[in-house]
Amino acid sequence: MKIATIVGARPQFIKMAPVSKELRKHFEEVVIHTGQHYDYEMNRIFFEQLGIPEPDYYLGVGSGSHGYQTGEMLKRIEEVLIKEQPDIVLVYGDTNSTLAGALAAVKLHIKVAHVEAGLRSFDKGMPEEVNRVLTDHVSDYLFAPTETAVKNLHNEGIKEGVYLTGDVMYDALLHNIKIARKRSSILSRLGLKPKGYLLATVHRAENTDNMERLKTIIKAFIESDEMIVFPAHPRTRKYLEAYGLIGEVEKAGNVLLIPPVGYLDMLVLEENARKILTDSGGVQKEAYFLKVPCVTLREKTEWVETVEDGWNVLVGADKEKILRVIKEFEPKGDTYMYKFGDGKASRRIAEIIRREMSGGV
């Protein structure tokens, strides 16, 4: 029995690592990398550090508009699926790679499994929201990370093939945090002290593609009294340069702009940050798992549990809010990992697929 796994972006490599390990105990797996993230630090280093098998196909789609990127992926993925004839296609998360993989499969009458199904920000202005909703509605197996995700699917009339599995990113973090603590020297390389800095990531189109939003976020960073470590996504750096902001960031005495870092270095930076400022869904969760206060540079989030439990606050691109929460926001209460599973989501997903594809035996 053959499974085609489709990935293309950093968070998907992290999610894939523990799942692929479990799948290969039962199935032949073909890995299709769309090339959505093509920078070395955003791509190959994750395969190396996480022990993920080298992709069988690298499609090299690269960047472009949503329509162009999704269309190119759809075309190239379809060619591979016709050649490989897998029994099931596995997609992750909410990127253009996710949607293209799901559409290519369903058009060829191949079953689709969606890891991280049921997430909703209820903001159709986010490309990721459109991707995840459409993917869920064409999927045969929907692996929901939380009870909230299951409820969201039920509210949309999706009840067949829904499984509460837990979150595979929690699996990945539990396995890799100990390795990261031993191997990573990122703090010493950057001259950082634990809890002596804030960590910032900005990459979503709603922030990078909007000059005023990105300007406002950067101004908040520069006006903060705290040291901010800012690993810049390639797209983010491109827009910082296009908007004339790169010079301001580099001259700011409190903002350390660095290239993207690998997964192990990122975990160490997250764990040792005093607070995290981000627009990434995955980083919001990792902050919660590591019990680091998170400031989310968006108006809405699909990871509502992190906000409800008081460890994440939504500030959008409001400079005054950002500066205020940097100073004042402190979580009250605890984090509750059980909401994201028991660290065995990957094993559960592989077992469900094995059982379902073998006729329930």
- For the annotated catalytic residues, the residue numbers are 203
Record the tokens describing residue 101, joined without a space.
Answer: 């993989």
Beta strand 88-92 with 57-58 is unpaired
Asked whether the CA dihedral 73, 79, 82, 86 is positive or negative, the reply is negative
Asked whether the CA dihedral 140, 141, 145, 147 is positive or negative, the reply is positive
Beta strand 28-33 with 228-231 is unpaired
- Nearest of 172, 175, 153 to residue 164 by alpha carbon: 153
Classified as helix, coil or strand, 51 is coil
Query: Which phi-psi region, left, alpha or beta, contains residue 284 (left: φ > 0; alpha: ψ -120 to 50)?
Result: alpha
Classified as helix, coil or strand, 111 is strand
Q: What is the C-alpha separation between 200 and 28, in angstroms, rounded?
A: 39
Asked whether the CA dihedral 34, 74, 94, 153 is positive or negative, the reply is negative
Q: Which residues pair with 7 in a beta bridge?
A: 33
| Backbone phi and psi for residue 38, each to the nearest 5 degrees, phi listed first | -120, -5
Q: What is the C-alpha separation between 32 and 13, in angstroms, rounded?
A: 11
Record the tokens describing residue 140, joined without a space.
Answer: 């045969």
Instruction: Compute, in degrees rounded to 10, the torsion defined by CA atoms 140, 31, 283, 228.
Output: -160
**DSSP string across 293-308:** -EEESSS--S-HHHHH
Amino acid, single-letter form, for residue 8 = G
